[in-house]
Amino acid sequence: IEVRELAKRISSELGYAILTGGGPGTMEAANHGAIEGNGTSLSINIKLPREQSQNPYVKDSADFAYFFVRKTIMTFAAEAYIFSPGGFGTLDEFFDIITLIQTKKIPPVPIILLGKDFWQPLDEFIKNNLLRIHEAISPEDVNLYRIMDNHDEILEVIKKAPTQNWWKDFEII
């Protein structure tokens, strides 16, 4: 998975800011790609007992003590979500986003799962167990996300997505 190159292209060709959790590995690659694409490289960090260091490619960041606050900020005005292989935090954020879209709490935006080898078993579980066996989701729910590896196709999906302007009139009560 070439996260760095994809982030560079999203930044340079589409003009989007790249927002990550600010840590090492995949997040660092994405922030690095944003810088290489002359784009905006941001992070929203979570304070953890075993502190992760912020990667050197983050140009602006905010720190949060609680996951729920961080996730609210993350979901507020994104034009697309790209999830790379990760751990429980990645899965938590993925399921949170698809649940918010499924329940129409946020507008639909592209949710792209990068890395077929990682995401395909989860996709099979969702389709077999949640949809077919237990009927816990609707058939259209499996269309809330796409598993993709081709960068050109990913950029096309993002380009064709409607711009999200709903938040401009949002009032915090």
Average pLDDT over every residue of 63-82: 88
Helix or strand (DSSP H, E) at 34: helix 26-36
Read off the pTM. Answer: 0.91
Average pLDDT, the chain: 92
pLDDT at res. 17: 96
Q: What is the dihedral of CA 45, 8, 79, 22, to 10 degrees?
A: 0
pLDDT at res. 165: 66
Token pair for residue 131? Answer: 């949809």
pLDDT at res. 76: 76
Task: Quick: pLDDT tens for 100-155.
Answer: 999 998 889 999 999 999 999 999 999 999 999 999 999 999 999 999 999 999 99
What is the identity of the amino acid at 47? K
Instruction: Please name which of 113, 146, 117 lies closest in space to residue 3, comparing C-alpha atoms.
Output: 113
